[in-house]
Structure 1
Amino acid sequence: MTVTAFHRRPEPVEIARVTSTAAELLEVLWGRASTAPASASQLRLLHILEHQDGINLRTLAASLASTPPATSRLFDRLQAAGFVERENSPDDRREVRLRLSGRGRAYLADLRARREAELQAVLDLMPAAKRGALAEGLESFCAMAASRIHDDTQDSGRRTA
């Protein structure tokens, strides 16, 4: 007689705990791929501009959960480094659009390549089946996280409008 093993379904709280640990380990691994010359908050700003090219300062500040003056100072430092740029809106000369510069895009691409090299070194140690399961789970996680972020951005836009 064969006994079928039933695996209990992992609860979201347990997965959240493991994911949090994984995120902390990623921070340590990625620390080897320095983010210099950008700080963590500047890096968040660069990522937002990469995905929302041409947004205005108010929207950027809301995305960072910050104030426009603090966001402007953060942006100014990145502009001085050549990572971002401002341009007048073609529709309204009073409105300024914020963009990631070519240098900013190159910086993010280089950072990602260095981080991916650190990840690949760990993934190379995993059995292929576990890597496949991880990839499948992460694809779903990323889709749901992106959806939630998008919905939150839409909601905050409606509240400030």
Structure 2
Amino acid sequence: MWGTASPGAIAARFARLVELLGGDTAAAKAMGQQRDLLAAVQSTEPGTLNQVAARVKRGAPAISRAIDTLVRAGFVDRQADPENRRRLQLRLTDQGREYLNRPPVADQTLEGRLGKLAASELRALERGIEILERLPR
């Protein structure tokens, strides 16, 4: 459903789209991959490493290393499954949820600029973003 988004919502979607499309730098791409991984953990909570790896379509060893980094950063909590002590459950921490819900850093001033546009212009931009989001990866 389109036409009702605020400038802030459009700015966040656009910044996220820039990350998805690769951004301008390797750092932007890494941040986008980190956000994708956090979103995968959130969508599978309490998920296993294999579930998260399947969600992001990557191998478990690579995802294991990335999860280790997110655990050290305080974004993900890893605990033993009470029903199977050999399996670990992954959950976002409060800090991880806050990071994931925060608009991407790509351009925080974009919201202010979009706030100066007419409603019809915002609707046109939103429609364009929806079209870009459907592009195959």
Return the alpha-carbon distance in structure 2 between the equivalents of residues 91 and 67 of structure 1.
Answer: 25
- Of residues 118, 121, 125, the one that matches 2:112 is 121
- Name the structure with the higher strand share: 2
The answer for unaligned runs of 5 or more in structure 1 is 1-21, 146-161
Length-normalised TM-score, structure 1: 0.55
Q: Residue 97 of structure 1: SS of its match in structure 2? A: strand
2:122 matched to which residue of 1?
A: 131
- 1:41-56 counterparts in 2 under 5 A? 41-56=33-48
The answer to whether the aligner puts 1:72 opposite 2:76 as a matched pair is: no
- Give the structure, 1 or 2, with the largest relative contact order (CA under 8 Å, sep 6 or more): 2
5+ unaligned residues in a row in structure 2: which ranges?
1-13
2:82 pairs with one of 83, 90, 94: 90
What CA distance in whole angstroms lies between the structure 2 residues aligned with 1:58 and 1:98? 11
User: 2-side partners of 1:23 and 1:122: how far apart?
Assistant: 13
Aligned-pair distance for 1:91? 2.5
Pick the structure with greater CA Rg.
1
Per the normalisation by structure 2, the TM-score is 0.62
CA–CA separation in structure 1 for the residues paired with 2:77 and 2:16: 32
**Percent of aligned pairs sharing the same letter:** 32
Cα distance change, pair 73–48 in 1 and its aligned pair in 2 (3 A): same
1:60 to 52, 56, 62: 52
CA contact (8 A) 2:49 2:88 kept: yes
Q: Which has the higher helix share?
A: 1
Bigger mean CA offset, 85-94 vs 38-47: 38-47
Q: Superposition RMSD on alpha carbons, in Å?
A: 3.6
Residue 92 of structure 1, CA deviation = 2.1
Alpha-carbon separation, structure 2, partners of 1:25 and 1:83: 22
